[in-house]
Every structure is written in C-alpha cells, then in structure tokens.
Amino acid sequence: MALEHAILVSLLEKPGSGYELARRFERSIGYFWTATHQQIYRVLKRMESDGLLDVRDVAQQGRPDKREYSVAGRGRTALSEWLHEPIEPESLRHDLAVKIRGAAFDDPAALISEVERHRQVHRDRLAHYLAGEARDFTGPEAPAAPDAGQELQHVVLRGGIAYERMTIAWLDDVLATVHRLVASHPRT
C-alpha cells in the first residue's frame, strides 16, 4: 500500500489538504506515483482514524475552508517501519507494448499515429521535468548547498528524466521499425 506511504512522505515534506495533495500527485510526486482526489480523500480519512495523521481546520479568505493534514507520531513510526522493510522490485505494465505486439495481427500502419501521440506526451513530460529541475536544482535560483531532502528529491527527478528520455528513444525505434515493415510489406 504505497499510496499511504507516498502521502506520509509528501505531508512530511509539507503539511496540506487533500486538494493540495491531489495537485502534488499531478506534479512532483507524480514523477513516480499517481492518485486521484477520490482515492486521496478516502485514504486520508482512513489514515486519520488510524491515528497516523493530525488534522486542523483552516479558514481561508475568498476560498473554501480546508482541512490541513500533518503527520502524527504514529505516522512517522509507520513510515520508518516501511522504509526498513524490503519491497518487491517493480514490474512494468505497458499497454502500448501489448498494442505493438498485437499489431502483427492487424494493420501495423494504424500504430503510427498512436505511437507518435505517445511520443509527444513523453516529450512534454520531459520538458516539464527539465523545467522543474532548472527551477529547483540546477538554475540560478537553486540552493547553493542543498540539504539531504533536496538531494534525494533531485535524484528521483533525474530518474523521471532518464525514464522519459529512454521512452522517447524507444518510441523512435518503434516508429522506425513500423515504417520499415510498412514499406517492405505494403497493403496497397
């Protein structure tokens, strides 16, 4: 149940409401984990009733009130325990690869626009990650002497950047392969 742990890490980095967490899951935390607001609100309630989180109602001007969560002592303990347990290395789940192999039983040319669309999404993500890296870690505004938390955030972000670059290069390989197939086995 890594969503709980991802929430604990995010709230330790900075307390916030369910809405704010959902936004973070679209951004920085989203480099390695995704979650929708529905999921987040449900898990936050459970974590609060389990005593992992503290809540504070915050009134705001010109905005709805919000419930600001922060990590309680038991939450910190729970996170620490999980950090010391070994976890299973991830396995890939890549729908697009299923499509690519499936194209052998259909028209491979139909793949091209789909692969191009995916490549564009990964290009956009890469640009977004690189902008974040420049802003927070390598640009002129970045801290001269980053602390441990910043170093660790940066190495995770470098992982996201490496993943997007690898994916774009692979999709180029896929496109070249499909173009070759279509050229050598034309279907008038």
**Distance between CA atoms of residues 129 and 28, nearest Å:** 9
Residues forming beta bridges with residue 50, ordered by sequence position: none
One of 49, 60, 62, 87 touching a copy of itself (CB under 8 A): 87
Sign of CA dihedral 56, 60, 65, 69: negative
Question: Residue 89, interface with DNA (CB under 7 A)?
Answer: no
Cβ of 91: how many Cβ atoms within 10 Å?
A: 5
Question: Residue 101, interface with a copy of itself (CB under 8 A)?
Answer: yes
Total residues at interface with a copy of itself (CB under 8 A):
70
| Contacts (Cβ under 8 Å, ≥6 apart) of 71 | 8, 11, 12, 15, 52, 53, 54, 79
Q: Of 9 and 182, which CB lies nearer to DNA in the complex structure? A: 9
One of 38, 50, 110, 116 touching a copy of itself (CB under 8 A): 110
Site residues for a copy of itself per CB under 8 A: 2, 5-6, 8-9, 12-13, 30-34, 76, 79-80, 82-84, 86-106, 108, 110-111, 114, 117-118, 121-122, 148-149, 151-156, 158-160, 162-163, 165-166, 169-170, 173-174, 177, 180-181, 185
